Structure 1
Amino acid sequence: MHLTEVRFLKRWWLFSADVELPPIIVDDSTKPMLLNLIAHEMCSDDGHEAWVTSYIRLLDSLIDHLEDVKSLRKAGVLENSLGSDKEVAKLFNEIGTDLVPNILAYSEAKHKIQEHYENSTNTRLSELKHEYTHISWAFLAIVGAVMALFLSGVQTYFTVWSPKGECDELCMFLKMNHHL
């Protein structure tokens, strides 16, 4: 996967999505290497591309604290050979400061993320998921309630719009002859 390949993928349940980022190994040589690549991009005639700068700026926007580094390590985006997660967070916060990324870099992924974020249905469903699915009995209660509502709707539909049957004629006969 190249630095230019940042993708936003919706899952089959609409309110959930993933962002795929190119992986990076962080070790003792990472900081000087990234600074040299950024300097090369700024000095080259083709500086408008600035993919390394844009990628570092993207990672800096995702990383503020050591918990963010843990999340990215767990997702397979970062491999930490530097030491502590706090050092990795500090590295990206230092390098990413005052960088000007390519405004067109990752524009499609950014647009899809913003569109997904602004959808109020996605937000509400995601909040429900995060609030109730970590408690297994609450999740089962939600599934049961949704099933009960669905089955009640089906029952109501067939009660109101049921086809005529043999019992309907028997009921009419009894009402007419026995004054029920």
Structure 2
Amino acid sequence: MRPVYTFRNVLELVDVGIHFKPSDSKSLAHINFSKGWWGFSVKVELPPIVVDDFTKPMLLNLIAYEMCYLNAYEAWVTSYTSLLDTLIDNGEDVKALRKVGVLENSLGSDEEVAKLFNEIGTNLVPYKSAYLNAKREIQKHYESWRNTLFSQLKKEYVKSPWAFFALLGAFIALLLSGVQTYFTVWSPKSTCDDLCMFLKSNHHL
């Protein structure tokens, strides 16, 4: 059964704490998925690409070449192009990848680049995807309710700093209340307590 991936584009993945960066190597074989702070955020390293007037014919020719060898272990160009088509829906996705250095746009507008990959990616299905493990990890992080909730809270409180301080104050008040309750119930009996009980019983305090 072919695995199902429900993530839509770069911006949707950024919303749940998945960030992209260019890999040190330009080899299409190099893609890396690494978890960050407490697993709430991850980094996906992608081979950088320069998109210009020659990109579309070059990719189409290389994809056609790979299609002639269906028994090849990895169809790198086809897999990479398919992945970019999955990540890019519109110009905003291109802009996000361009800002982090994964993509260099020498073609024109970001919308033109998005259109290029959407056109090439139509009905493009790699015979053997080279990035199955990375896609599986991205989907796993994307589906995590914990990561989604954390990212939504972070986005909400970044937009409203006062709401963040209110939440922090409420958390501190709750913590102090819990500490006070603990010491009230579980604090060890002191000699002062014995003295107070003696005075009460003998002097009717």
Query: Shared topology, TM-score over 0.5?
Result: yes
Report if the CA contact (8 A) 1:51-1:102 is conserved.
no
**Deviation per residue, 1:72-107 (Å, 9 max, x gap):** 112221111111111101111111112112444222
Q: 1:15: which partner in 2? A: 40
Rounded to whole Å, the distance in 1 between the matches of 2:70 and 2:117 is 26
Report if the CA contact (8 A) 2:97-2:103 is conserved.
yes
Shift of 1:41: 1.2
- Equivalences for 1:22-33 in 2 at 5 Å? 22-33=47-58
Going from structure 1 to structure 2, the CA distance change for 1:54 and 1:65 (only over 3 Å counts) comes to same
What amino acid maps onto 2:72 in structure 1? G
Q: 1:60: which partner in 2? A: 85
Report if the CA contact (8 A) 1:26-1:79 is conserved.
yes
Rounded to whole Å, the distance in 1 between the matches of 2:47 and 2:155 is 27
For 2:166, which of 134, 137, 141 is the aligned residue? 141
Q: TM-score, normalised by structure 1?
A: 0.88
Q: TM-score, normalised by structure 2?
A: 0.78
Q: Does 1:81 align with 2:106?
A: yes
Q: Where in structure 2 are there 5+ consecutive unaligned residues?
A: 1-24
Moved more, 94-103 or 65-74: 94-103
Q: 1:117: which partner in 2? A: 142
SS at 2:72's partner residue? Answer: coil
Rounded to whole Å, the distance in 2 between the matches of 1:60 and 1:177 is 87
Rounded to whole Å, the distance in 1 between the matches of 2:31 and 2:168 is 35
Identity over aligned pairs, percent: 68
- The Cα RMSD (Å) is 2.0
For 2:68, which of 43, 54, 58 is the aligned residue? 43
Report if the CA contact (8 A) 2:75-2:129 is conserved.
no
Q: Where in structure 1 are there 5+ consecutive unaligned residues?
A: none
List 4+ stretches of structure 1 deviating above 4 A. none
Q: 1:156: which partner in 2? A: 181
Going from structure 1 to structure 2, the CA distance change for 1:142 and 1:11 (only over 3 Å counts) comes to farther
What amino acid maps onto 1:128 in structure 2? L
**Deviation per residue, 1:44-67 (Å, 9 max, x gap):** 365341111011001001111111
Rounded to whole Å, the distance in 2 between the matches of 1:42 and 1:114 is 27
Q: Does 1:100 align with 2:117?
A: no
Report if the CA contact (8 A) 1:48-1:102 is conserved.
no
Q: Does 1:126 align with 2:126?
A: no
Moved more, 20-29 or 104-113: 104-113
Rounded to whole Å, the distance in 1 between the matches of 2:100 and 2:165 is 28
How many residue pairs match? The answer is: 180
Rounded to whole Å, the distance in 1 between the matches of 2:155 and 2:172 is 20
**Deviation per residue, 1:92-132 (Å, 9 max, x gap):** 11111121124442222222222222222222222211222
